[in-house]
Amino acid sequence: MTTEFLTITGTPADEDVIAKAAEVIRSGGLVAIPTETVYGLAGSALLEDSARKIYAAKGRPADNPLIVHLAKPEDAELYGETTPLYYRLAERFMPGPLTIILKKKDNIPDTVTAGGATAAFRCPSHPIAHRLIEVSGHPIAAPSANSSGFPSPTNALHVKADMDGKIDMILNGGECEIGVESTVVKLNDDGCTILRPGAVTEDMLADVCGKVTISPAVIEPTLVDEKNPESPGMKYKHYSPTAEVILIDAPLDVFADHVNGRGAGKYGVFTPADEAHLYTGGIMLITGETDNASQLSHSLFTLLRNADELGLDTVYVRCPPKSGEYLAVYNRIVRAAGCRITKLRDNRENN
Ligand code: TXA
Ligand code: MG
């Protein structure tokens, strides 16, 4: 199939592009769209076959359910069983990068939820995603628009690299603002549990929710119960470029010594711009400024893709903190590294 690549230009002509994309959605086709988190691979959440096509295009295991994207939080009434806590969270965080799991109604086909009794709901704040849902008149099922297992796409060229020839249309709306996928939560009697961390953090949720727990699999991916994961996406290898990602937990100087001491080969280092001078070789993959979690999130998936574009065999990454805004980055990078963390301490302290 030929994939149409259309750019949103910020002019009234955009409405024609949206109308065309909405017709593709209504007729059961697939359109990749920008959201504020990452690009999504959108199909109607009301048509069984659209979900099947999504799984096929991504090469995604069919037991990993899709998020249902809505134009406004109240629309969840039509497709799921809302609760007072859903509305409290929606009031604060929707539209935006929060996904909430609810019991689903029968009008959402089993192909969308992988046969499960629940569905995940999110209202994207990105104007293109929002407008497409409105104009199509359908709720939209959309996973990240990458080939399964690879880094999520944060611009339309990433999508083209993975999806050209496999879907009907790509809407190019520039770079995604946030760069990591939405926070996914399930609701409990006394609060909520984070199943996937994102830009809506534990502290932000605690402001509204009372008790917030973090699923152990978020921090220790090896703890996922393969037969019964809370969120099926937890159990898959994820976000990995072909290059090997080596995640190292070490003080900065020890990390730099380790990288500088490695042998030949084509390698890269994730580094803030102002620390790049510490490295004597390798390709610098610049993550932004030191201690800037938003810039790191924003650049994470692009840098992982750059590693392959540059033909690197290894990428060294210093382990980010496991808290606040950094938790989302930690959660992605530890999976990209195949759940392996190398711990290095400063031997010189003992001399
Ligand atoms: O920011 C995002 O959430 C992006 C954009 C496109 O909206 N979408 C996204 O979708 O990241 P995807 O399919 O790549 O990730 C959805 C995650 C998966 O880990 C999946 O297992 C989990 O949400 N999920 C979906 N429905 C669920 C459900 N009913 N119960 C538990 N987990 C669910
Ligand atoms: Mg994904």
Q: 37 CB under 6 A from ligand 1?
A: yes
* pLDDT for 228: 72
d(CA 118, CA 87): 17
Task: State the closest ligand 1 atom to the C-alpha of 184, by its place in the atom list counted from 1.
Answer: 23
Q: 120 CB under 6 A from ligand 1?
A: yes
Q: 151 CB under 6 A from ligand 1?
A: no
Q: 136 CB under 6 A from ligand 1?
A: no
Task: State the closest ligand 1 atom to the C-alpha of 122, by its place in the atom list counted from 1.
Answer: 7
Assign 351 a pLDDT band (cuts: 50, 70, 90). very low
Element (H, E) at 255: helix 252-260
The conformation of residue 144, written as its DSSP 8-state character, comes to: B
Checking if the pLDDT of 350 tops 60, the result is no
pLDDT digits (tens, 9 = 90+) for 34-79: 999 999 999 999 999 999 999 999 999 888 999 999 999 999 999 9
Q: 36 CB under 6 A from ligand 1?
A: no
Q: How far is the CA of 156 from the centre of ligand 1 (A)?
A: 20
Burial class (CB in 10 A: 0-12, 13-18, 19+), 347: exposed
Task: State the closest ligand 1 atom to the C-alpha of 119, by its place in the atom list counted from 1.
Answer: 29
d(CA 124, CA 133): 10
Checking if the pLDDT of 233 tops 80, the result is no
Ligand nearest to the CA of 143: 1
Contact 31, 24 (CB under 8 A): yes
Assign 296 a pLDDT band (cuts: 50, 70, 90). very high
Domains of the chain: 4-223 (3.90.870.10), 244-350 (3.40.50.11030)
d(CA 264, CA 241): 20
Q: 116 CB under 6 A from ligand 1?
A: yes
* pLDDT for 152: 97
Closest residue by Cα to atom 13, ligand 1, is 143
Ligand nearest to the CA of 112: 1
Q: 128 CB under 6 A from ligand 1?
A: no
pLDDT digits (tens, 9 = 90+) for 121-145: 999 999 999 999 999 999 999 999 9
Q: Is the pTM of this model over 0.85?
A: yes
pLDDT digits (tens, 9 = 90+) for 317-339: 999 999 999 999 999 999 999 88
Closest residue by Cα to atom 10, ligand 1, is 143
d(CA 343, CA 79): 46
Ligand nearest to the CA of 115: 1
Q: 193 CB under 6 A from ligand 1?
A: no
Q: What is the mean pLDDT of the chain?
A: 94
DSSP states along 278-327: G-SSSEEEE-SSTT-HHHHHHHHHHHHHHHHHTT-SEEEEEPPPSSTTHH
Q: How far is the CA of 276 from the centre of ligand 1 (A)?
A: 35
3-state secondary structure 59-124: CCCCCCCCEEECCCHHHHHHHEECCHHHHHHHHHHCCCCEEEEEEECCCCCHHHHCCCCEEEEECC
